[in-house]
C-alpha cells in the first residue's frame, strides 16, 4: 500500500477520468440495486390486478433506469480504460525519465533485464490493478452494502438469511485464500525456475547432445515437472472449493427465502411482503454473494500485483547519486587531468577500496596508456574523469578544476569515453554517428570515420553511411563495431578522449593506423588508452601499470621494461611468437 502511494503521483491528468469512473460505478451500482426493488413493486401491482396504465408507467421507468445503468457501466468502462491506460503511460514515462537521471552507480544496482521487466510486465500488472481498483474494488463492496441495505428495507425478517450466509462465505473465502495464496506464490516461483531450466536446456542443447545427456535431462525435467504438478494441484484444489462454497450459499438462500418467505406472506396475508419481494430477495442474494466473491478475487489479484508495485516503487524512489552542482562551470579550459590523493569504493559499505593512493598529473594533449589484469581497476580509474562516479576521497581535476564543479553535460561533452561494453543503436550508421554531434556534416562524419579507420568498410556496404544497424549492432563484426564507436566519440571533438579496451577486436595493423591518426590529427586532445596488448600502448607518452586498485608503475616503455616486472612479463608473453619467428 505504501508502495502504491509512491506510484500515484503518476496519475496526473488522468485523475479526472478516474474520478468520473468511480462516480459512474457508484451510480451504476445504485441503479442496479434499485431495479429489483421497483420490479418487486411492479410485480405486486400486476398480481393485484392494478390498472395497466400504472404498471406500464413503472415499467417504462424501469426500462429507463436499466438503460441509464447501461450507459453508466459502459461509460465507466470507457473512462476507466482511459484512466488506467493513461496512468500506465505516465508511469512508463516517469520510470524511463528516472532511469535517465541515474548515475552509473544507480545503473549498477539494477540489471538490464529487471529494468525491462519493470517497464513492461510490471507496468502492465499495475495498469490492470489500477483498473480493478477504480472499477471492481469500488463496485463490489458498494454492491454488497447497497444490496444488504435494500434487502433489509424490503425483506425485513427475510434478510436474516444474510446474517448466516455472509459470515459463512467470508470465513470460507478467507480460509481458502489464506492457504491458497502462499501455496500459489511458492509454486509460481518454482514454475519460473522450471521455465528457466527449459531455457537453460535449449541454450545448452549442443552441450546436452555433445555429452549424449538427453535421457538425463528428460529425467531431471520430469522430476521437476511432476513436483510442480503436485504443488499446483494442491493450490488449485483449494481454490476449486470456491465455487461449491458459493453455490452452497446461493442454494441455502434460495431454500430459506422460499420457506420463510412463503410463511411470512401466507401468515400475514401478503401485507408485510408479497411475492414480488420474494423474487427480489433472490436477486439480492445473488448480488450480495457475488460481490463477496469479487472482493476475494480482487484481493488475490492485488496481492499478485503487489510485487510489481513494489518493484516500480523501488525505481521511482531510487535517488540519483550524482547531481549537477548549484552554480556549475560550463567551460573546460584544457585537457589536463589531475588525480589528487584519490581513493574510491563502489559502495559506502564496501570493505575494500577499488582504487586507492592515486596521484597523477596528465598534461593536456598527452597520450597515456593503461595496462593491467582483470580487476585491477583500470576502468574504474578512467570513469572518474567524466564524473561517471564520484571519488570517495581526494579529488579529480580536469582543466585545473574539480570535476564536481562542472555542469555534467558540459564536462561529458569534453571528456569522450568509448566504453568497454559499447553499444550501437538501431538506426543507420549516420544516426549512430550523430550521437557524437547532432549537427555533424557529412564531411565531418567522414573525417571522423577515416580517423577511426571505419570509412573504408562503411563504404564497402551497399548503403554506405545509410546502412541500417540492427538492434545491438548484430550485423557488424566486433572490430567494425569498435571502430564505429570510436568515430562516434571523435565527433564530439572532445578535449579528452578515453578508449577503454576499445580496439581489442581490431587487428594490430588497423590499431596502429588509428593511433597514428590520433597523433597527427588530434594532437591537442588528451588521449587515454586502456589495452590488453602492450603494442597498443607501447608508444604512449606515459604508461600506467595497474594492479589491485593502484598504480604500481608509470613511465615510458623503455623505463618500464627496465623497472617493472609485470610489464616486462606481459610484453614478453605477448611477443614470444614474434621472436620465435625471427
Which residues, numbered 5-44, are part of the site for other proteins (CB under 8 A)? Answer: 28, 32, 35, 39, 42-43
Q: At what angle do helices 275-316 and 136-155 cross, to 10 degrees?
A: 160
Near other proteins in 560-579, by CB under 8 A: 570, 573-574, 577
Which H or E run contains 457? Answer: helix 455-460
Decide whether 243 or 303 has the Cβ nearer to other proteins.
Answer: 243
Near other proteins in 181-220, by CB under 8 A: 193, 195-218
From 5, 9, 15, 120, residue interacting with other proteins (rule: CB under 8 A):
120
Kindly write out the interface string for residues 145-184 of this chain, putting x where it contacts other proteins by CB under 8 A and - elsewhere: ----------------------------------------
Q: Does 545 bind other proteins (CB under 8 A)?
A: no
Region binding other proteins by CB under 8 A among candidate stretches 67-75, 170-178, 292-300, 353-361: 67-75
The span from the CA of 220 to the CA of 194, in Å, is 11
Report the candidate in 8, 104, 86, 105 with the shortest Cα–Cα distance to residue 316.
8
State the sign of the Cα–Cα–Cα–Cα dihedral 500, 381, 321, 118: positive
Kindly write out the interface string for residues 480-509 of this chain, putting x where it contacts other proteins by CB under 8 A and - elsewhere: --------x---x--------x--xxxxxx
Q: Does 331 bind other proteins (CB under 8 A)?
A: no
State the sign of the Cα–Cα–Cα–Cα dihedral 442, 445, 450, 454: negative
> Listing from the earlier edge strand, what are the strands of the sheet with 367-372?
415-418, 496-500, 526-530, 367-372, 542-547, 550-555
**Cβ 193 to other proteins shortest distance, Å:** 8
Exposed, middle or buried: residue 573 (CB in 10 Å: 0-12, 13-18, 19+)?
A: exposed
Decide whether 99 or 358 has the Cβ nearer to other proteins.
Answer: 99
Number of residues this chain uses to bind other proteins (CB under 8 A) = 159
3-state secondary structure 394-426: EEEEECCEEHHHECHHHHHHHEEEECCCCCCCC
The span from the CA of 423 to the CA of 282, in Å, is 66
Which H or E run contains 55? Answer: helix 52-101
**Cβ 56 to other proteins shortest distance, Å:** 7
Near other proteins in 122-141, by CB under 8 A: 127, 131, 135
Report the candidate in 337, 325, 358, 341 with the shortest Cα–Cα distance to residue 400.
337
Q: Does 425 bind other proteins (CB under 8 A)?
A: yes
DSSP state of 14: G
Near other proteins in 71-100, by CB under 8 A: 72-78, 80-82, 84-86, 88-89, 92-93, 96-97, 99-100
Kindly write out the interface string for residues 376-415 of this chain, putting x where it contacts other proteins by CB under 8 A and - elsewhere: ----------x-x-------------------xx--xx--
Decide whether 240 or 350 has the Cβ nearer to other proteins.
Answer: 240
3-state secondary structure 194-245: HHHHHHHHHHCHHHHHHCCCHHHHHHHHHHHHHHHHHHHHHHHHHHHCHHHH
Near other proteins in 226-285, by CB under 8 A: 226, 228-229, 232-233, 236-237, 239-241, 243-244, 247-248, 251, 254-255, 258-259, 262-263, 265-270, 275-276, 278-279, 282-283
Amino acid at each position: 500500500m505504501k508502495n502504491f502511494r509512491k506510484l500515484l503521483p503518476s496519475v496526473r491528468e488522468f485523475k479526472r477520468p478516474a474520478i468520473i469512473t468511480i462516480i459512474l460505478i457508484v451510480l451504476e451500482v445504485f441503479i442496479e440495486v434499485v431495479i429489483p426493488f421497483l420490479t418487486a413493486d411492479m410485480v405486486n401491482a400486476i398480481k393485484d390486478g392494478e390498472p395497466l396504465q400504472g404498471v406500464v408507467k413503472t415499467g417504462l421507468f424501469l426500462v429507463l433506469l436499466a438503460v441509464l445503468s447501461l450507459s453508466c457501466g459502459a461509460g465507466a468502462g470507457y473512462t476507466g480504460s482511459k484512466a488506467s491506460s493513461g496512468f500506465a503511460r505516465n508511469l512508463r514515462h516517469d520510470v524511463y525519465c528516472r532511469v535517465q537521471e541515474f548515475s552509473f552507480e544507480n545503473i549498477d544496482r539494477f540489471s538490464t533485464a529487471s529494468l525491462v521487466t519493470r517497464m513492461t510486465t510490471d507496468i502492465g500488472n499495475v495498469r490492470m490493478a489500477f483498473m480493478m481498483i477504480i472499477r471492481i474494488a469500488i463496485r463490489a463492496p458498494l454492491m454488497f452494502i447497497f444490496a444488504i441495505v435494500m434487502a433489509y428495507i424490503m425483506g425485513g425478517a427475510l434478510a436474516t438469511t444474510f446474517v448466516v450466509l455472509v459470515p459463512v462465505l467470508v470465513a470460507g473465502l478467507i480460509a481458502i485464500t489464506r492457504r491458497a495464496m502462499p501455496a500459489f506464490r511458492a509454486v509460481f516461483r518454482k514454475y519460473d525456475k522450471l521455465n528457466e531450466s527449459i531455457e537453460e536446456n535449449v541454450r545448452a542443447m549442443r552441450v546436452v547432445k555433445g555429452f549424449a545427456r538427453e535421457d538425463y535431462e528428460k529425467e531431471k525435467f520430469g522430476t521437476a515437472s511432476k513436483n510442480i504438478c503436485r504443488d499446483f494441484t494442491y493450490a488449485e484444489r483449494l481454490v476449486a472449493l470456491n465455487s461449491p462454497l458459493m453455490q452452497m450459499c446461493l442454494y441455502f438462500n434460495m431454500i430459506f427465502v422460499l420457506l420463510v418467505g412463503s410463511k411470512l406472506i401466507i401468515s400475514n396475508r401478503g401485507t408485510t411482503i408479497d411475492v414480488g419481494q420474494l423474487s427480489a430477495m433472490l436477486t439480492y442474494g445473488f448480488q450480495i454473494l457475488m460481490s463477496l466473491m469479487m472482493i476475494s478475487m480482487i484481493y488475490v489479484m492485488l496481492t499478485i500485483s503487489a510485487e510489481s508495485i513494489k518493484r516500480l516503487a523501488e525505481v521511482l524512489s531510487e535517488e540519483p547519486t550524482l547531481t549537477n552542482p548549484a552554480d556549475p562551470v560550463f567551460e573546460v579550459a584544457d585537457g589536463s587531468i589531475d588525480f589528487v590523493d584519490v581513493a574510491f569504493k563502489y559502495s559506502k559499505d564496501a570493505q575494500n577500496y577499488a582504487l586507492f593512493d592515486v596521484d597523477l598529473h596528465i598534461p593536456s594533449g598527452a597520450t597515456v596508456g593503461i595496462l593491467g589484469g582483470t580487476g585491477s581497476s583500470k576502468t574504474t580509474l578512467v570513469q572518474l574523469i567524466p564524473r561517471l562516479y564520484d571519488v570517495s576521497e581526494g579529488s579529480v581535476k580536469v582543466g585545473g578544476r574539480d570535476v564536481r564543479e562542472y555542469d555534467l553535460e558540459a564536462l561529458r561533452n569534453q571528456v569522450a569515453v568509448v566504453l568497454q561494453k559499447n553499444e550501437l543503436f538501431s538506426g543507420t550508421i549516420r544516426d549512430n554517428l550523430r550521437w557524437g554531434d547532432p549537427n555533424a556534416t557529412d564531411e565531418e562524419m567522414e573525417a571522423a570515420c577515416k580517423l577511426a579507420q571505419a570509412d573504408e568498410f562503411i563504404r564497402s556496404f551497399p548503403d554506405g553511411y545509410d546502412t541500417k544497424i540492427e538492434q545491438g549492432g548484430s550485423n557488424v563484426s566486433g572490430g567494425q563495431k569498435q571502430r564505429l564507436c570510436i568515430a562516434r566519440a571523435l565527433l564530439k571533438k572532445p578535449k579528452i578522449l578515453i578508449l577503454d579496451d576499445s580496439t581489442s577486436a581490431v587487428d594490430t595493423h588497423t590499431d596502429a593506423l588509428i593511433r597514428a591518426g590520433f597523433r597527427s590529427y588530434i594532437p591537442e586532445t588528451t588521449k587515454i588508452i586502456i589495452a590488453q596488448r602492450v603494442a597498443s600502448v607501447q608508444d604512449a607518452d606515459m604508461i600506467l601499470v595497474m594492479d589491485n586498485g593502484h598504480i604500481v608503475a608509470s613511465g615510458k616503455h623503455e623505463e618500464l621494461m627496465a623497472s617493472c616486472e609485470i610489464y616486462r612479463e606481459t610484453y614478453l608473453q605477448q611477443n614470444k611468437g614474434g621472436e620465435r619467428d625471427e
